[in-house]
Every structure is written in C-alpha cells, then in structure tokens.
Amino acid sequence: MTLSQLQYTLAVAKYGNFTLAAEKSNVTQPTLSMQVQKLEEELGALIFDRSTKPIKLTNIGEIIILQSKNIVEESQKMKYLIDQEKGVVEGEFRLGIIPTVMPTLLPLFLNTFLKKFTKVSLKIEELNTQNFIEQILDGRLDAGIGATPLDNSKLIENPLYYEPFVGYIPESHPLHKNKKIEINDLKNGKVLILEDGHCFRNQIINLCNINTNNKNLSIKSGSFETMINLANEGLGMTILPYMQTLVLSDKNQTNLRFFDDPAPAREISLIYSKSQFKLPIIFALNKVIDSVIRGTIKFENVKIITPK
C-alpha cells in the first residue's frame, strides 16, 4: 500500500470516473487504474462498483475512502509541520474571500505576497460567507477572509483589520448638509443595501432600523457601484465599507459622510479550521496583509457590528 495508491483512489471517489481522475492526478489512465486495482487486491476488497456511471463506492469502499483521507491528510500534515519548523513557505493554498472584501483588499496584498513567497501557489475564489465556511470544514478550502465573529467552534478567526462604515449621501438627500452622521440619522430613512446573501447587508440591517420591504422598489444587486449610482439618481443613500470609498471618483468623494465616534465597523478576519496544517502559509499571508493594511486604515475608535 502506497500513498500514491491512496491518492489515486481518492481521486476516483471524488470524480466518479477513472479517466477524469487520471487527468486531475497528472498520470495516465492505465497507470491509475492499475494502482487502484493493486490496492484492492492487497486489501482483498472491491472499493468501487465499476458497473455504474458515475462509478460508485461499495459499502466497504466507503470505509476505505474515509480511512484513506485520514492517512493522506496526516502524511501532508507531517510535511507541513516539518516545513513550519524549517521556516519553509511553499505549496498550494486555496483561499476564499467574500465579495465585499475581495475587490479592495486583494489588489493591496496579492502582488506583494506572490513576489515574496514564490513557491506558494494561490488558488483564490470569491465566495459568500456560508459557502466558504462549508468548504473550509469539508477540506475544499484552506482558509477564508470574511466578516467575523462567526461563533463556530470548529474555526479559528484571526482578525486582520477593523473597517469602518461610511455614509454615501448625495446632494439631494437631507443628510448631505451634515458634516458627520449618527446611527440614529439612518433609522426609517431610505437606505439602499445589497441583496440577500451578503453579510454586509446583515450588518447594515443590524446597525439601524431599516425597512427592507419597499413595495415600489426591489433591487437584487451585490454591487456597491449600483447602490452609489442609484443614490446619485435621488433614490436614497447607501452605506459603504471604508476601503470601497478609496476607489471613488473625486466627485463622489464629496458625498461621503463619516460617523461620529465610535464609528460602526466590521471585523475582517483570516478564518481557518482548527485542524488546518498549512500554518506557515497562513502566518505568511497574515503578516503580508497586516503590513499593507496598517497604512490604509487608521481608525481606532470603532464599534464592531455583527455579520449575523
């Protein structure tokens, strides 16, 4: 029994097809099939029912696959523990980032990280919070960047920064004349917010008493740009995370209004499983993001709004 045999077997279980499993494993299909067959012969049990399409696990095969995952994960963990001791930062790392953070944070740290850690292969995907939590817990992602706290006992939340909320208030809005705004100013007002599925939407709803049931208008958009354009057309105001305000045009910058202290804010964290073993990459990612964000967000007196 070899690790390669276990890895090939896991690939077949994942893709339900020997040809596709071989392609994903970068080996020929005959080689993969032969190694899986050797494992079955050594164990004296059929792992797959080859008469079905896609190929399915036998009853005993399900048990073998679970144990195979544990063995492969432990072997990988041993390598990363050794790398951590040596200070080596390398390997593939799968990262999920929520949509309201990815466009502004990623350009700040990605180039710096890739230049500094040339042996790390980053696979980055834009996902909402619920999706990346599920993928972290089932091993499809190594970590995520999103709003916390999540209150999940299986996850570690390492805060990266605290991002204040900023009001975007066009000239047509009564609050435009104010130099600063308060949370009470927003209650029962026309506040444009993102569609369901975004934790930033939940935070804004939690921030103030917003009526989301508008009989005359229903908007499903995950774009801050859309909210800004609608506000400029006189349909209300909107709330932006601070880093989103840094990319606004000079004309739109004049419509920004900051909150009185303590400013409402969101906590953005690097999130990973307690059983995660790619800690050298996680620590390196955390360090790079911290170094670039320190000079970008300088607010100290903030009040964290929960994303739930």
Residue 115, token pair as written in the block: 């230049």
d(CA 142, CA 139): 7
Give the residue carrying structure tokens 């029962």: 188
Residues 243-277: pLDDT tens digits? 999 999 999 999 999 999 899 999 999 999 988 87
By the 8 A CB rule, do 240 and 192 touch? no
Q: Who has greater pLDDT, 76 or 132?
A: 132
Q: Catalogue the E-assigned strands of the chain.
A: 48-49, 56-57, 91-97, 120-126, 143-148, 155-168, 180-181, 191-192, 237-241, 256-259, 263-273, 302-304
**Mean pLDDT across the stretch 4-19?**
92
| Biggest alpha carbon–alpha carbon distance for the chain | 79
Q: Before 103, cis peptide (omega within 30)?
A: no
The pairs formed by 60-67 with CB atoms below 8 angstroms and a separation of 24 or more are: 61/13, 64/9, 65/9, 65/10, 65/13
Q: Who has greater pLDDT, 38 or 51?
A: 38
- Tell whether the model's pLDDT for residue 236 goes beyond 90: no
pLDDT at 211: 52
DSSP-derived secondary structure for 198-227: -HHHHHHHHHS------TT-------HHHH
| Mean pLDDT lowest among 10-19, 32-41, 289-298 | 289-298
Q: Degrees (nearest 5) of the Cα angle 214, 217, 220? A: 105
pLDDT at 284: 92
pLDDT at 127: 93
**Mean pLDDT across the stretch 233-248?**
91
Q: How confident is the model at residue 215 (pLDDT cuts 50, 70, 90)?
A: very low
Query: CATH 3.40.1160.10: does it fit domain 86-158+269-299?
Result: no
pLDDT at 295: 80
Q: Which of 96, 201, 160, 181 is nearest to 297 (CA)?
A: 160
**Mean pLDDT across the stretch 15-23?**
92
pLDDT at 252: 93
d(CA 50, CA 68): 19
Residues 164-183: pLDDT tens digits? 999 999 998 989 999 999 88
Q: Per-domain residue ranges for the chain?
A: 3-77, 86-158+269-299, 163-265
pLDDT at 183: 85
Residues 274-295: pLDDT tens digits? 888 788 899 999 999 999 998 8
AA identity, residue 144: G
Cα first-last separation, the chain:
47
Across all residues in the chain, what is the average pLDDT?
87
Q: Do domains 3-77 and 163-265 have the same CATH topology?
A: no
Residue range 3-77, CATH number: 1.10.10.10
User: Which residues on adjacent β-strands are paired with residue 264?
Assistant: 303
- Tell whether the model's pLDDT for residue 65 goes beyond 90: yes
d(CA 97, CA 101): 7
pLDDT at 221: 59
Residues 76-123: pLDDT tens digits? 777 777 766 676 788 899 999 999 999 999 999 999 999 999 999 999
pLDDT at 217: 46
- Tell whether the model's pLDDT for residue 212 goes beyond 60: no
d(CA 267, CA 304): 6
Q: How confident is the model at residue 208 (pLDDT cuts 50, 70, 90)?
A: low
d(CA 238, CA 259): 13
pLDDT at 219: 55
By the 8 A CB rule, do 189 and 237 touch? yes
User: Which class is domain 163-265?
Assistant: alpha beta
By the 8 A CB rule, do 169 and 176 touch? yes
